[in-house]
Amino acid sequence: MITLNRKTTIQFSNMGLFVGGAGWTHPETATATHELVFVVKGEVFLEEDGERHALKEGDVLCLKPDTVHKGYKKSDNCSFFWLHFYADAYEDIGVYRARAEDFSSALVLFKELNHLASLQGENELIECKLLGFLLQLNSRRQMKSKLFSDIADYIRVNGYTPLSVSSVSEKFGYNSDYLSKLFTANCGIPLKKYIDRARLSYLCNLLLATTLSVKEISERCGFESDNALIKFFKYHKKQTPSEYRNSISLSHTNNK
């Protein structure tokens, strides 16, 4: 269990990847946990408390505990990750319906979570990553300044380039130290860390979605050498790119 503040806690239960065939409809059910749904493919039609949700690729929905939800329309060849968790004072996080702006990085995250769920003793790490994802969705919704929204979008779109705090600051016409402080204050994360996350997300996506070699990926992403990429990746992920590529597998898949 991980605690956000004195009253808000997150405790992971279980998760998996659902793959539905033609004409599938979500059965009527209710669970004692919150259920987070992240749509990977197709459309998913869910109704909860009389409110209908037509979810598409990249959409996120958090279903409430002890509340009946069901499908209201048939789906064809959809797939989505489902994740059950317990939470106290979840309203402090407040993410119920959202959209993952960076689908690739969200997909990588859920693949990692699904892999961790198949291991023993990784619940705390899952909870940390889950909480970070929910807070990021919330901060994205509440980001009031267009400047910081534009900066975040620029970093996300250009994650394949050798970005730095100085290059981003120059792009937007600000002093590096000043922009770093402003970004941290408004977005709740240091600018350098946000850049590194975007770079890392792009690397993870290439490792999982392509057969490019580490050398080819390093050249594509502007690293000085494949050793520089390996050093960067290992610092953040605690494993080499090859180890990461080989370790992630889509387990806990169901189609019922």
Which phi-psi region, left, alpha or beta, contains residue 231 (left: φ > 0; alpha: ψ -120 to 50)? alpha
Q: Hunting for tokens 């394949």 — which residue is that? A: 160
Side by side, the strands of the sheet bearing 69-71 are 51-55, 44-48, 69-71
Q: What does the DSSP assignment read for 65-114?
A: TT--EEESS-BSS-EEEEEEEEEESGGGT--SEEE-SSHHHHHHHHHHHH
Strands, DSSP E only, in the chain?
2-3, 9-19, 34-41, 44-48, 51-55, 59-63, 69-71, 79-88, 97-99, 253-254
Determine the Cα–Cα distance for residues 74 and 182; give it in Å rounded to an integer: 47
pLDDT at position 140: 59
Nearest to 149 by CA among 202, 187, 100: 187
pLDDT at position 20: 92
| Structural domains of the chain sorted by starting position, each given as residue range(s) with its CATH number in brackets | 2-141 (2.60.120.280), 147-247 (1.10.10.60)
pLDDT at position 45: 96
pLDDT at position 254: 55
Count of residues making up the chain: 256
The token duo for 72 is 């209201």
Can you name the residues that pair with 80 across neighbouring β-strands?
A: 18, 39
pLDDT at position 132: 82
pTM over 0.85: no
Determine the Cα–Cα distance for residues 12 and 86; give it in Å rounded to an integer: 6
Can you name the residues that pair with 118 across neighbouring β-strands?
A: none
Q: Hunting for tokens 């992403």 — which residue is that? A: 221
Give pLDDT < 70 ranges for the chain. Answer: 1-8, 92-95, 139-145, 188, 249-256
pLDDT at position 92: 62
Determine the Cα–Cα distance for residues 69 and 48; give it in Å rounded to an integer: 4
The token duo for 28 is 């009527």
